């Protein structure tokens, strides 16, 4: 069998497999879209997350009345967050939910996530935790903060780990920002400051 004929046969087999599996296996653009939307780096590897379509985390302004029911509340860095379910809202347009959650009582909106196995809920906040490269200090980071982020503080007990906050927490996505920041190469690692649900 000639080399060209063997290549043709292999190509035909691959095409047959691709056609028979196309209804089961997501297409490359679909996988790429998921990687772009709901993944961040942990130990240099992309970690994919499952985005909830009907649960959101909101940052709550203390003392202001909320126009919706909060199912669960938690605190991070002295600020209050809550989990809201779309099922309890009057809107039926899922795409407009983040916009409908914004109010004078809400300063942060993000989807609830879970690992791909769906084992637990993961609640994002407006914070990222980063480890600086050698020579990075709180002063140098404050002088040149990453685009779209502000320096909040040094992680206690460390000299090279910092907490950053989103500048526009109702517009930015912490998972996407963590991925972007890691890919830019300024930091050794970058992770969203998640709160994991206790079971």
For residue 136, give the CATH number of its domain: 3.30.70
Instruction: Note if the pTM is more than 0.85.
Output: no
Residue at 56 is within a domain: yes
Q: How many CB atoms lie under 10 A from the CB of residue 141?
A: 19
Q: 82-106 burial string, b = 16+ CB within 10 Å, else e?
A: bbbbbeebeeeeeeebeebbeeebb
Q: Using the 3D structure, point to which of 71, 89, 113 is the last residue of a domain.
A: 113
DSSP lists the bridge partners of residue 130 as 162, 190
Confidence of residue 30 (pLDDT cuts 50, 70, 90): very low
Instruction: Average the pLDDT over each of 18-32, 50-64, 90-104, 162-176 and give the range with the smallest value.
Output: 18-32
Q: Is residue 119 part of a domain?
A: no
Segment 104-130, tens digit of pLDDT? 889 999 999 999 988 899 999 999 999
Sign of CA dihedral 141, 144, 147, 151: positive
Give the pair of three-digit tokens for residue 172.
């930015």
pLDDT of residue 84: 93
Strand runs labelled E in 26-71: 39-42, 45-60
* 89 within domain boundaries: yes
Domain span at residue 157 reads 125-196
146 and 91 in a common domain: no
Kindly state whether residue 149 falls inside one of the protein's structural domains.
yes
Is 167 inside any structural domain? yes
The residue ranking higher by pLDDT, 5 or 138, is 138
pLDDT confidence of 31, banded at 50, 70, 90? very low
Whether 129 and 108 share a structural domain: no
* Three-class SS state of 4: helix
Residue 48's DSSP bridge partners are: 39
* Better-scored residue on pLDDT, 132 or 16: 132
Which pLDDT belongs to residue 13? 34
Band (pLDDT 50/70/90 cuts) for residue 61 is very high
pLDDT > 70 fraction of the chain, expressed in percent and rounded: 75
- 59-86 mean pLDDT: 92
CA distance 31 to 51: 14
The number of folded domains in the chain is: 2
What is the pLDDT of the chain when averaged over all its residues?
81
Considering 113, 134, 150, which residue would you say is the last residue of a domain? 113
104 and 152 belong to one structural domain: no
């Amino acid at each position: 069998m000639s080399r060209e004929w063997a290549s043709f046969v292999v190509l035909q087999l691959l095409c047959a497999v691709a056609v028979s599996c196309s209804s089961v296996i997501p297409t490359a653009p679909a996988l790429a879209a998921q990687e772009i939307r709901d993944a961040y780096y942990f130990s240099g590897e992309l970690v994919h997350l499952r985005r909830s379509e009907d649960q959101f985390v909101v940052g709550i302004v203390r003392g202001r009345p909320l126009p919706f029911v909060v199912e669960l509340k938690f605190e991070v860095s002295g600020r209050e967050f809550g989990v809201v379910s779309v099922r309890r809202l009057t809107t039926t347009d899922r795409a407009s939910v983040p916009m409908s959650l914004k109010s004078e009582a809400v300063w942060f909106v993000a989807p609830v996530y879970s690992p791909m196995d769906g084992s637990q809920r993961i609640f994002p906040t407006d914070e990222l935790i980063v480890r600086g490269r050698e020579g990075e200090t709180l002063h140098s980071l404050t002088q040149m903060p990453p685009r779209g982020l502000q320096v909040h503080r040094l992680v206690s007990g460390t000299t090279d780990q910092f907490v950053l906050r989103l500048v526009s927490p109702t517009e930015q996505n912490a998972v996407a920002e963590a991925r972007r920041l890691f890919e830019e190469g300024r930091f050794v690692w970058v992770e969203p400051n998640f709160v994991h649900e206790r079971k």
